[in-house]
Amino acid sequence: MDFDGLVRWLLRDPVAVAPDLLGAVLTHTTPEGAVSVRLTEVEAYRGHRGSDHPDPGSHSYNGRTPRNEVMWGPPGRLYVYFTYGMHFCANVVCGPAGTSSGCLLRAGEIIGGVELARSRRASARRDVELARGPARLTQALGIGRGDDGATLDGARFRLVPPAHRAAGVLSGPRVGLAGPGGSEDYPWRFWLPGEPSVSQYRPAKPRPLRA
């Protein structure tokens, strides 16, 4: 799939895009080398307060800010933000421009550039822990503040969707959100069953994804 095709693929509701991202491969190429991760856990975030699908858990819920500017589109870019004063997290921007929606990359399996990922994640005791969690994933891939707004066109970042939606995808409430954005009404965290790279924390009982 070329970049134009990827953009068309991402021009959808993030709740539809998120489970389709499971099994996708994201590669980041730097002067040090390339690292690739196969995504095993993601979260969907919809739009701002005045949109057709407002999402109180979204960074854009209260409107456009310098921090969330990239989230407003166009799709096919990374929205990278700093959190807890120490970590970066990365999202794939999706949906039409102006809808301010995206999918948080929560976890994955490093399938390329393992040695480089290990050097970036020296505290990981096992390879399965290299990208288990959103901050660990960005650290293993070498993603930082300067990558906010980077396009997924293959120049530095390349995203290759899986040929088919993974079977048996599970969903549950999103992680770390207080109030309605993290409730049972928002089962927008999706993960692959049986994958050891998926985050250990389970805020709710998993349930099969409806077709």
Is 209 part of any domain? no
Q: CA dihedral defined by 174, 176, 179, 183, rounded to 10 degrees?
A: 30
Does the pLDDT of residue 143 top 80, yes or no? yes
Is 210 part of any domain? no
Tens-digit pLDDT profile for residues 78-91 = 999 998 778 999 99
- What's phi and psi for 172, nearest 5 deg? -165, 175
Tens-digit pLDDT profile for residues 102-118 = 999 999 999 999 999 99
Q: How far apart, in whole angstroms, are the C-alpha atoms of residue 6 and residue 62?
A: 28
Is 205 part of any domain? no
Is 90 part of any domain? yes
Is 207 part of any domain? no
Residues paired with residue 23 on neighbouring β-strands, in sequence order: none
| Secondary structure of 81-125 in HEC code, one letter for each residue | EEECCCEEEEEEEECCCCCCEEEEEEEEEEEECHHHHHHHCCCCC
Is 137 part of any domain? yes
* Reported pTM: 0.92
Count structural domains, the chain.
1
Between 209 and 35, the more confident residue is 35
Tens-digit pLDDT profile for residues 152-196 = 999 999 999 999 988 999 999 888 876 777 777 889 999 999 999
Is 203 part of any domain? no
Q: What is the pLDDT of residue 134?
A: 96
Residues 207 and 171: beta-carbon distance below 8 Å: yes
Residues 175 and 203: beta-carbon distance below 8 Å: yes
Q: What is the pLDDT of residue 204?
A: 46
Is 79 part of any domain? yes
- 133: domain range? 3-198
CATH of residue 124's domain is: 3.10.300.10
Mean pLDDT computed over every residue of the chain:
92
Tokens of 135: 């901050």
How crowded is residue 118: how many other Cβ atoms within 10 Å of its Cβ?
15
Residues 137 and 107: beta-carbon distance below 8 Å: yes
The candidate with the shortest Cα–Cα distance to 106, out of 191, 10, 36, is 191
